Amino acid sequence: MKTVTLEVPEPIAELYPKVGEKLLLSTLREAIKRSIREEQRNLKTIQKRIVVFERKYKTDFSDFQKNLPSEGDYRLHEDYGEWSYLMDVAIAIEKDIAQYQRLNGTV
């Protein structure tokens, strides 16, 4: 365990001796669950945008990237840039969700 110092408004500090650690941990668990739900919604939005590219090019990003011509039209390269960005964001969100889920199991 690691000790964390937290500055809180005076009313909360006055309440702590009465409710103690149990309430704070419960609140933290709820915040983690809410964060997981928010990240899952964000991931769903990103995944929908990725599906648009998969349908447009009839392939997944990995194959698209392998077969991307060095000389293509402007739109093709614009799509590649956006699709690549979306893939990076999706991976980052998935990592965040996994971290929140592990944290939720320890709180």
Per-residue pLDDT of the chain (107 residues; tens, 9 = 90+): 778 787 878 887 787 777 777 887 888 899 999 999 999 999 999 999 999 999 999 999 999 999 988 877 889 999 999 999 999 999 999 999 999 999 887 65
Distance in angstroms (rounded) separating the CA atoms of residues 53 and 55: 5
CA–CA gap between residue 102 and residue 98 (Å, rounded)? 6
Q: What is the pTM of this model?
A: 0.79
Token readout for 90 is 């999706």
Cα 40 vs. chain centroid, distance in angstroms?
7
